[in-house]
């Protein structure tokens, strides 16, 4: 019974721990969430691993130019040693068969080599450093992309909160009017149509609120997915939407655009530089390569397998030398390899030019979009104020018996539409600001 009770308590404790973990709650600002995403998102993790791999690739290439030492052990056992023929007349009138060698031989050696010159290797070493730089630039691009994605989704989450708040407020107002109208109907002072009209408007709002709640859940899950956060975590956003909307866009709009600071342009320029090194490598294939070596060797020759008998002799020998490989004729292969890379160089020159034009166009588009979004936002804010005033007047008229519930619901629908337009205008301003900040590398 004691063991059974202990097992039950352990199970309860385990479920309690799991429950606590599942209900983990974190509160983060946009900046904090961006930092969390940079450390934990798949995109930045993958870019960091690529950069780490590029670093090891460079070190591996460096090692080719360092001294290399290789050892060898070879044992031979002649099951049936071959004969050698001594021609007739050497030791007698006829051919004479003889066996040379021992049935058991063991050779142990070591060879040290050093690359003295190889043009292709030298260029490859330069290219590996360029590739390492490209991967580091890829990290910067990944960080920029992650920050932009998280920023847009963070804004969308705040917008979804604001949208729900507006819909809930509209529902409370309608429910208040519905309750008042129901009381008037019960007292015989109004028609049932007025009650039904308001009830219909409330039902429509309930549908919109249900959809908005589902959209909010999806946006929060997307935000957690983008940052590498556990989906079961309760995420609370500490920033306020008004803070972002009140932030001035003047600094972004007045910032001078420098195309060479654009990360995509920098990566295209670096890729072009790598192609130039590739071309240099292909041309270096015409040059000879030079290396040196030294060899140490000892051998044992035995009639029986007694290789480890130190009383019997081992025969030592060593040598050193220099080797040079000189390319002479390749059937035109090296020539066409050079031609092919020359084409790739021209292609990358076009890619670099396109990247610069694209960056310029994206900047101008983002700047124009932000200016227009700000104008639309101010207009939608004014329209929202007018829609609220019109609805309030309709409510007063309905209360005084000078209007109908149909007028109120129509004005309420007009207000909801104005609120939706206002929400969209805010989202457009925030997205345009992110887009412009990204093009200026100011996220």
Residue 62 resides in a domain = no
Q: Are strands 289-302 and 315-325 parallel, antiparallel or unpaired?
A: antiparallel
Q: Is pLDDT at 425 greater than 80 in this prediction? A: yes
How far is CA 267 from its chain centroid?
15
Residues 158 and 295 grouped into a single domain: no
Residues 383 and 243 grouped into a single domain: yes
Residues 257 and 367 grouped into a single domain: yes
**Angle, CA 11 vertex, CA 10 and CA 16 arms, to 5°:** 95
Q: Is pLDDT at 38 greater than 80 in this prediction? A: yes
Token pair of 361 as six digits: 């166009």
Q: Taking the alpha carbons of 297, 299, 305, 308 in that order, is the dihedral positive or negative?
A: negative
Percentage of the chain with pLDDT > 90?
47
The pLDDT of residue 11: 47
Picking from 222, 429, 428, 264, the residue whose alpha carbon sits closest to that of residue 362 is 264
- Domain at 425, CATH number: 1.20.1600.10
Domain termination residue (choose one: 326, 351, 385): 326
Helix (H) / strand (E) containing 321: strand 315-325
Residue 20 resides in a domain = no
Domain termination residue (choose one: 279, 298, 326): 326
pLDDT in tens, 78-104: 877 777 777 776 666 777 777 777 888
Residues 137 and 262 grouped into a single domain: yes
The pLDDT of residue 186: 86
Residues 104 and 235 grouped into a single domain: no
Residues 292 and 281 grouped into a single domain: no
Residues 254 and 111 grouped into a single domain: no
Residue 8 resides in a domain = no
Token pair of 157 as six digits: 């989450």
Residues 137 and 160 grouped into a single domain: yes
Residues 311 and 263 grouped into a single domain: no
Phi, psi (degrees; rounded to nearest 5) at 90: -80, -55
Residue 415 CA to residue 389 CA, distance in Å, equals 9
Q: Is pLDDT at 17 greater than 60 in this prediction? A: no
Residues 217 and 79 grouped into a single domain: no
Residues 220 and 128 grouped into a single domain: yes
How far is CA 65 from its chain centroid?
34
Residue 52 CA to residue 427 CA, distance in Å, equals 38
Phi, psi (degrees; rounded to nearest 5) at 302: -130, 150
Q: Cβ atoms within 10 A of the Cβ of 331, count?
A: 7
Contact 327, 286 (CB under 8 A): yes
Residues 6+ apart with CB under 8 A from 289: 115, 117, 118, 119, 120, 121, 324, 325
Residue 157 resides in a domain = yes
The pLDDT of residue 2: 46
Report DSSP state, residue 18.
H
The pLDDT of residue 290: 93
Q: Are strands 234-237 and 25-28 parallel, antiparallel or unpaired?
A: parallel
Largest CA distance in the chain: 148
Residue 11 resides in a domain = no
The pLDDT of residue 23: 57
3-state SS record for 86-154: ECCCCCCCCCEEEECCCCEEEEEEEEEEEEEECHHHHHHHHHHHHHHHHHHHHHHHHHHHHHHHHHHHH
Domain termination residue (choose one: 326, 353, 384): 326
Report DSSP state, residue 66.
S
Residues 6+ apart with CB under 8 A from 142: 43, 44, 46, 47
Q: What is the mean pLDDT of the chain?
A: 87
Residue 364 resides in a domain = yes
- Domain at 75, CATH number: 2.20.200
Domain ranges, residue 303: 67-117+288-326
Residue 9 resides in a domain = no
**Which position has the higher pLDDT, 141 or 443?**
141
Residues 234 and 376 grouped into a single domain: yes
pLDDT in tens, 280-305: 998 998 999 999 999 999 998 888 88
DSSP per-residue codes, 325-344: E-----TTHHHHHHHHHHHH
Q: What is the pTM of this model?
A: 0.79
Contact 238, 28 (CB under 8 A): yes
Residue 249 resides in a domain = yes
Total of domains in the chain: 2
Strand 104-117's sheet: what is its strand order? 68-77, 104-117, 289-302, 315-325
Contact 370, 433 (CB under 8 A): yes
> How large is the average pLDDT for residues 414-421?
89
Q: Is pLDDT at 22 greater than 60 in this prediction? A: no
User: b/e map of 203-215 (b: 16 or more CB within 10 Å)?
Assistant: ebbeebbeebeee
Contact 140, 50 (CB under 8 A): no
Q: Is pLDDT at 216 greater than 90 in this prediction? A: yes
3-state SS record for 151-220: HHHHHHHHHHHHHHHHHHHHHHHHHHHHHHHHHHHHCCCCCHHHHHHHHHHHHHHHHHHHHHHHHHHHHH
Q: Is pLDDT at 19 greater than 50 in this prediction? A: no
> How large is the average pLDDT for residues 394-423?
84
């Amino acid at each position: 019974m004691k063991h059974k009770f202990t097992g039950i308590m352990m199970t309860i404790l385990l479920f309690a721990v799991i429950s606590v973990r599942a209900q983990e709650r974190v509160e983060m600002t946009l900046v904090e969430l961006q930092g969390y995403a940079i450390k934990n998102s798949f995109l930045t993790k993958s870019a960091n691993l690529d950069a780490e791999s590029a670093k090891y690739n460079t070190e591996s290439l460096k090692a080719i130019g360092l001294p290399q030492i290789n050892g060898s052990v070879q044992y031979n056992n002649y099951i049936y040693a071959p004969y050698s023929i001594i021609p007739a007349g050497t030791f007698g009138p006829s051919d004479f068969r003889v066996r040379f060698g021992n049935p058991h031989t063991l050779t142990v050696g070591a060879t040290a080599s050093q690359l003295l010159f190889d043009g292709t290797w030298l260029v490859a070493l330069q290219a590996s450093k360029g590739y390492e730089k490209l991967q580091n630039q890829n990290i910067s691009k990944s960080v920029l992309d992650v920050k932009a994605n998280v920023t847009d989704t963070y804004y969308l989450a705040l917008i979804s909160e604001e949208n729900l708040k507006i819909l809930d407020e509209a529902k409370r107002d309608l429910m208040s009017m519905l309750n008042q109208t129901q009381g008037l109907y019960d007292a015989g002072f109004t028609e049932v149509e007025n009650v039904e009209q308001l009830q219909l408007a409330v039902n429509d709002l309930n549908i919109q609120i249900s959809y908005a709640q589902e959209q909010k859940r999806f946006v929060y899950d997307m935000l957690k997915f983008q940052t590498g956060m556990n989906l079961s975590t309760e995420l609370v956003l500490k920033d306020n939407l008004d803070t972002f909307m009140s932030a001035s866009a003047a600094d972004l709009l007045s910032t001078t655009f420098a195309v060479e600071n654009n990360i995509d342009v920098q990566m295209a320029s670096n890729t072009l530089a790598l192609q130039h090194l590739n071309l240099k490598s292909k041309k270096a294939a015409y040059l000879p390569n030079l290396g040196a070596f030294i060899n140490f060797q000892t051998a044992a020759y035995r009639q029986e397998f007694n290789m480890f008998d130190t009383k019997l002799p081992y025969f030592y020998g060593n040598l050193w030398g220099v080797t040079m490989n000189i390319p002479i004729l390749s059937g035109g292969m090296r020539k066409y390899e050079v031609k092919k890379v020359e084409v790739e160089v021209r292609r990358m020159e076009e890619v670099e030019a396109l990247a610069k034009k694209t960056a310029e166009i994206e900047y101008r588009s983002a700047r124009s979009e932000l200016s227009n979004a700000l104008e639309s936002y101010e207009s939608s804010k004014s329209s929202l104020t007018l829609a609220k005033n019109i609805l309030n007047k309709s409510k007063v008229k309905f209360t005084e018996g000078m209007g109908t519930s149909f007028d109120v619901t129509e004005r309420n629908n007009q207000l909801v539409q104005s609120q939706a337009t206002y929400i969209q205008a805010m989202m457009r301003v925030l997205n345009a600001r992110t887009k412009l900040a990204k093009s200026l590398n100011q996220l």
